[in-house]
Amino acid sequence: MTQSVVVQVGQCGNQVGCRFWDLALREHSHVNKKGLYDEALSSFFRNAVLVDMEEGVVNEILQGPLREVFDSTQLLTDVSGSGNNWAVGHMTYGSAYREQIVEKLRRAAEHCDCLQCFFLIHSMGGGTGSGLGTRVLSLLEEEFPEVCRIVTSIYPSAEDDVITSPYNSVLAMRELTEHADCVLPVENQSLVDIVSKIQHMSHGAKPGQVIRRDTAIISGRGGVSAAEKPFDAMNNIVANLLLSITSSARFEGSLNMDLNEIAMNLVPFPRLHYLVPSLTPLYTLADVSVPTRRLDQMFSDAFSKDHQLIRADPKRSLYLACALMVRGNVQVSDLRRNIERLKPSLPFVSWNQEGWKTGLCSVPPVGHSHSLLALANNTCVKPTFVELRERFTKLYRKKAHLHHYLHVEGMEQSCFSEAIASLGSLIEEYQHLDATKGTLMHDAPRLSISR
């Protein structure tokens, strides 16, 4: 059986990680009602490394109901934090704790009989998540170059309360582009929009549109943790993304997808490895309609802009490849039928018209009959990166707050110019692909063999 190691870095990374473990335990207890030893549960859950340069969140974990899940020797904390400064996290703490981090990663890897993937969870706006998180990523590449590195990155909104978040995000972007195999970008603003939509429906739904209790993607009820904390609703959405992507490693299915197959099938060019995630359903209505209609609607929703975890409309951009990871009582024929139904409305690059990867896991999420995670390598990520570059440039043009970074040992102004050049190059690559959208080649007619 294959295993993965989950690495949670920074306040946001650890809060999201805690929601993931909590809801994963809920799933396994729902399936394994007799409480028998579960090999998938045991092998998957013991492999975690928690890193934060403030003690608060990790201490909460150690004092809470999840304390039995984690090996306390796999936790690494400091007291002062990174002060919302990428350079402090990457340079100062990255150097000071390098050996300890490598030792904890090696120990986690040694617990695995067949290590398949590292999952890194972090945010882009703060200092520890962006700085130390990307330093951990580069250490993973150094120490385990053959093991797939999948990163879930939480991008700050334009109204973020961290003034220096554009600097931190662009500096982190360069590291993600250079060292990750796949990045799943999630925007805070998209999470806010999804939470608002579900809460609006919950409180003011019309007859026939009442949400069934505890089926919303923002709900964590039934997990180990009882009291809901600020941002739990948003973090639950990201946790559900991680539940879906790891479902094949935790449960059986007729068409299980190995995690290393994601990068192999969805990343045709090494730098263009940003995969736009979308989740559906976001909730289940109490008044259920015809099951087949609900199933087809689930596939349609996965490609609508309302279900993307970044603010994007993939149908108006260009697909390089797409993965559909389905959970529940869904047949391969349902999968193929919906792909054929949707293909005419989804613009793919001319040289990869059949760029679909599919996975089927037989166990649905708690409260649902089926669910779908779509991962799209799509040029629709470009506007997010363009907006980030504009916010960076506004600060950098005035050299505002730059001295906070340049006072850190090892940090030079060239780090900024190289990071923004890397982001500019990435945007140009997406623009180049977008320019080919209007010149898609249709399949050439097949040659017929004369008899």
User: Tens digits of per-residue pLDDT, 108-156?
Assistant: 999 888 888 999 999 999 999 999 999 999 999 999 999 999 999 999 9
At residue 77, the pLDDT reads 94
CA angle 4, 233, 53 (to 5 degrees): 55
With both helix axes pointing from N to C terminus, report the angle between 332-342 and 291-301 in degrees, rounded to the nearest 10: 50
Tell me if 146 is assigned to some domain: yes
At residue 214, the pLDDT reads 64
With both helix axes pointing from N to C terminus, report the angle between 188-204 and 232-250 in degrees, rounded to the nearest 10: 100
CA angle 153, 154, 159 (to 5 degrees): 145
Which strand ranges, in their side-by-side order, compose the sheet holding 75-77?
A: 75-77, 48-52, 3-9, 115-123, 148-155, 182-187
Which of 242, 266, 290 is at the close of a domain? 266
The pTM for the full model equals 0.92
**What are the mean pLDDT values of the chain's consecutive 10-residue runs (451 residues total)?**
88 93 86 62 72 90 84 89 95 97 95 90 96 98 96 93 95 98 97 89 63 70 62 92 90 83 95 96 63 80 94 93 94 94 94 93 88 96 97 96 96 97 98 82 49 47
3-state secondary structure of 115: strand
417: domain CATH number? Answer: 1.10.287
Tell me if 450 is assigned to some domain: no
Token pair, residue 299, equals 């596939």
Phi and psi of 172, rounded to 5°?
-70, -35
Tell me if 236 is assigned to some domain: yes
Q: Are residues 139 and 125 in the same domain?
A: yes
Tell me if 350 is assigned to some domain: yes
Phi and psi of 450, rounded to 5°?
-70, 145
Tell me if 446 is assigned to some domain: no
Q: Are residues 126 and 242 in the same domain?
A: yes
CA angle 179, 258, 9 (to 5 degrees): 40
334: domain CATH number? Answer: 3.30.1330.20
Q: Are residues 153 and 300 in the same domain?
A: no
At residue 265, the pLDDT reads 95
Tell me if 74 is assigned to some domain: yes
Which of 379, 405, 427 is at the close of a domain? 379
Q: Are residues 229 and 349 in the same domain?
A: no
At residue 63, the pLDDT reads 87
Q: Are residues 287 and 425 in the same domain?
A: no
Q: Are residues 361 and 391 in the same domain?
A: no
Q: Are residues 53 and 132 in the same domain?
A: yes
For residue 128, give every residue at least 6 positions away whose Cβ sits within 8 Å of its Cβ, in sequence order, or none: 9, 10, 11, 51, 52, 53, 54, 81, 82, 89, 93
Give the span between the Cα atoms of 173 and 122, in whole angstroms. Answer: 12
Tell me if 449 is assigned to some domain: no
Give the span between the Cα atoms of 359 and 8, in whole angstroms. Answer: 26
Q: Are residues 314 and 405 in the same domain?
A: no
Tell me if 310 is assigned to some domain: yes
218: domain CATH number? Answer: 3.40.50.1440
Phi and psi of 28, rounded to 5°?
-70, -35
Token pair, residue 405, equals 């970074």
Q: Are residues 187 and 205 in the same domain?
A: yes
Find the largest Cα–Cα distance for the chain: 80
C-beta separation of 266 from 375 below 8 A = yes
Q: Are residues 357 and 404 in the same domain?
A: no
Nearest Cα to 347, choosing from 444, 264, 263, 436? 436
Residue 208: domain span: 3-266
At residue 83, the pLDDT reads 92
Q: Are residues 232 and 258 in the same domain?
A: yes
At residue 257, the pLDDT reads 85
Per the structure, the count of domains in the chain is: 3
With both helix axes pointing from N to C terminus, report the angle between 10-31 and 56-63 in degrees, rounded to the nearest 10: 20
Give exposure, 333-357, as e/b (b: 16+ Cβ within 10 Å).
Answer: ebbeebbeebeeebbbbeeebebbb
Q: Are residues 300 and 391 in the same domain?
A: no
Nearest Cα to 337, choosing from 292, 385, 270, 386? 292
At residue 188, the pLDDT reads 95
One-letter amino acid at 142 equals E
Give the span between the Cα atoms of 184 and 376, in whole angstroms. Answer: 10
Which of 266, 287, 311 is at the close of a domain? 266
pLDDT tens, position by position, 318-329: 999 999 999 998
How far separated are the first and last CA of the chain, in Å rounded?
Answer: 51
